[in-house]
Amino acid sequence: MVQRLQQQGALPVLELGEHADVQEWDIAVLHRDRPAGDRAGGQVTWARIAPDRLNHLLDAYRHNLLPKLQELPGFCSVSMLVDRRLGRTVSVTSFENRDAARLVRKHARSLREQFAQAMGAKIVDVAEMDLDLAHLHVPEAV
């Protein structure tokens, strides 16, 4: 598959000795209040949960955490990708700019930690990043 994608120009050609790590993730949640602009900022959270608890986590995320995230100043969108087999998740909350993401950092951290604890999930990593690709070109999935 990697070779076919490289031939189509979708992936850069790997140098000798490099290894491509191709993973398949499902887009489990995707909600946009408004488009993210050119200077958008994102908060990215990687987490793990027992695979048999993943559906419960997704339901709670949609109905409990998402409405709270939408109330944050500068909120634009949220997406969550999941690896159902291994119980891995990654969520990206986008904000209109980096400053908006910084301003809600503490509040967002508190929301994440409370949610993870209630769900029995473990937050593996959190990062703030510039959001260069703000549209996945997929329909909303909430």
All structural domains of the chain, each given as residue ranges with its CATH number in brackets, are 24-130 (3.30.70.100)
Ranges of H-type helices in the chain: 2-7, 54-60, 66-70, 98-103, 105-119
Looking at residues 41-54, what average pLDDT do you find?
A: 97
Residue pointed to by tokens 């909430």: 142
- At residue 7 the predicted structure's pLDDT band, cuts being 50, 70 and 90, is very low
Segment among 9-18, 63-72, 97-106, 113-122 with least mean pLDDT:
9-18
Global pTM?
A: 0.79
Tell me the residue type at 68: K
The strand order across the sheet containing 122-130 reads 26-32, 75-83, 88-95, 41-48, 122-130
- As a whole number, mean pLDDT of residues 44-52 equals 98
Is the confidence at residue 6, as pLDDT, over 60? no
Q: Which tens digit of pLDDT belongs to each residue from 59-103? A: 999 999 999 999 999 999 999 999 999 999 999 999 999 999 999
The whole-number pLDDT of residue 35 equals 83
